A and B are shown apart, each in its own frame.
Chain A
Amino acid sequence: MYPTDYKYTREHEWVKVEGDVGVIGITFHAQQALGDIVYVELPKVGTQAVQGKTIGAVESVKAVSDIYSPVSGEVIEVNEALAETPELLNRDPHGAAWLAKIRLSAPEELEKLLDAEQYQALVAEES
């Protein structure tokens, strides 16, 4: 369920590191908890993301939920496909529905994140 080469936050975001870039998204558990997703508020390219701070929001029929950046750095690309098809987040949260790419300014922060096994344990605890 949760890719082992990703890192996770306690707030249910993930990051996959590709060189000096972190691709970020929300987890399967997060989208499931949110239900039908209707809108994704993404950061603008050029935004300086700070680990643990809000960089956007996900709107579902039920509620709105903040997205907290799992890493710090400059947002270099956002997933434009989500503007037209936010429901992609329900279908493929760990893949096609990535949210943004961030050039890592503090790669050592990754150490603070959970690995797949720890994240899975967190999810099991919460449900």
Chain B
Amino acid sequence: MSAGGEPRRTPLYQLHRELGARMVEFAGWEMPVLYSGIVEEHLAVRHAVGLFDVSHMGEIEIRGPEALALVNLVTTNDASRLRIGQAQYSAMLYEHGGFVDDLLVHKVADDHYFLCVNAANQEKDYRHICRYNRFRAEVEFASERYAQLAVQGPRAPDTLSRLTTTDLAAIRYYHFTDGEVAGAPARIARTGYTGEDGFELYLAPTEAPRIFRELLRAGEEFGIRPCGLGARNTLRLEARMALYGHEIDASIRPAEAGLDWIVKADKGDFVGREALRRLATEGVRRSLAGFVMRGRQVARDGYPVYVEGRAVGWVTSGGPAPYLNKNIGLCYLPAELAQVGRVIQIGVRGVPAEAEVVPTPFYRRRRLNQ
């Protein structure tokens, strides 16, 4: 990583500057935080379509006759259930059951899995996987070979279909295909981090600037907006998707984060399984809960949470939710206090502000076609 050094740039850096983006450093990368404004970009994704450069994300490829055995040892979900062309949300854990990272596992072929991991964790993830590779499997750190673009929103299929001969309708949610976009080979996955329909495209870095421009042109009539990490964060928060370093990290176990559904304890051995089994007998002590602020105060990451004057937890992510027009957040609470309807107080800059625990996700799209 570039810790202490110059932040890295994606192949689209120059284009972001041309488009007037405001750049920030995130996870060691110089990334656009916004172009026109977070609210406008957020709403474009909810109502129409938005385009994100997420080339900072990491890619790791695992190949070989025992690729599945390695994938299933280092991840919690059951990769053996995947069919070719299917993707799966999963996690990598330490032996003690805390998160190394969360990730997407794509099955490209019986002997080939493609992992998409978080930018800040990619080198760590790669080392972690290699450490457990006692199989006939080859692990490749492939981030340099891929740029990643996300086309997200209800008009994402209309936008992308103008630039591809690949049959997008045939790609179901959490599936992918190796096709082409604007004449360039692309892995087209129907996945995303916004709570909307849409696609994540993995393509050659050299092609990314041209394709980004062509996508902006193709989506023009639908009102496409280039979107930065600011909107990416508010969108994923409304959809209650975890962000490493916030909802999950090495000290958090899947059940606490509400992610036990990606842990398949009966699939056979995997790293962290023993610790989770032990913890299961003790029960979950803390639990991730969604809340809505009752007033206009804004909860932010790291703020303390109180119940009846007692400090009981902390905010993992918080902020205004542009689509819902409420101030929302996620926090860790003792499991017995995390019921919907409970009134909690958030310490907003030293002053307690009332909030109420609510069901999550805060936002759920209406699914028409799948």
Contact = CB atoms under 8 A, between A and B. Distances in A.
A46 B349 CA distance: 20
A39 interface: yes
Interface in B313-354: 319-320, 322, 327, 349
Contacts of B33: 62
The B interface is mostly helix, strand or loop, or mixed, namely mixed
Given A35-B34, A36-B38, A39-B296, A62 B230 contact: yes
Contacts of A39: 296-298, 327
B39 interface: yes
B76 interface: no
Contacts of A62: 33-34, 38, 230, 319
A39 B293 CA distance: 13
B349 A61 contact: no
A113 interface: no
B300 interface: yes
Contacts of B327: 38-39
A61 B234 contact: yes
A41 interface: yes
A59 B320 contact: yes
B45 to A, nearest CB: 14
B185 interface: no
Given A61-B39, A61-B322, A64-B300, A35 B230 contact: yes
B144 to A, nearest CB: 30
Contacts, number: 41
B79 to A, nearest CB: 37
Contacts of A83: 296
Most B C-beta atoms less than 10 A away, residue of A35, A62, A63: A62
Nearest to B322: A61
A57 interface: yes
Nearest to A66: B349
Contacts of A38: 296, 298, 320, 327
A64 B37 contact: no
A41 B349 CA distance: 10
Nearest to A36: B39
A57 B349 contact: yes
A83 B34 CA distance: 26
Interface string A6-49: 00000000000000000000000000000110110100000000
Contacts of B234: 61
29 contacts: A35-B34, A35-B230, A36-B37, A36-B38, A36-B39, A38-B296, A38-B327, A39-B296, A39-B297, A39-B327, A41-B297, A41-B349, A57-B349, A59-B297, A59-B298, A59-B320, A61-B38, A61-B39, A61-B42, A61-B319, A61-B320, A61-B322, A62-B33, A62-B34, A62-B38, A62-B230, A62-B319, A64-B300, A83-B296
- Which 9 pairs across A and B sit closest by C-beta, in order of nearness? A59-B298, A61-B38, A36-B39, A38-B320, A39-B296, A61-B320, A62-B230, A36-B37, A39-B298
Given A59-B297, A62-B319, 11 more contacts: A35-B37, A36-B38, A36-B322, A39-B296, A59-B298, A61-B234, A61-B319, A61-B320, A62-B38, A62-B230, A64-B349
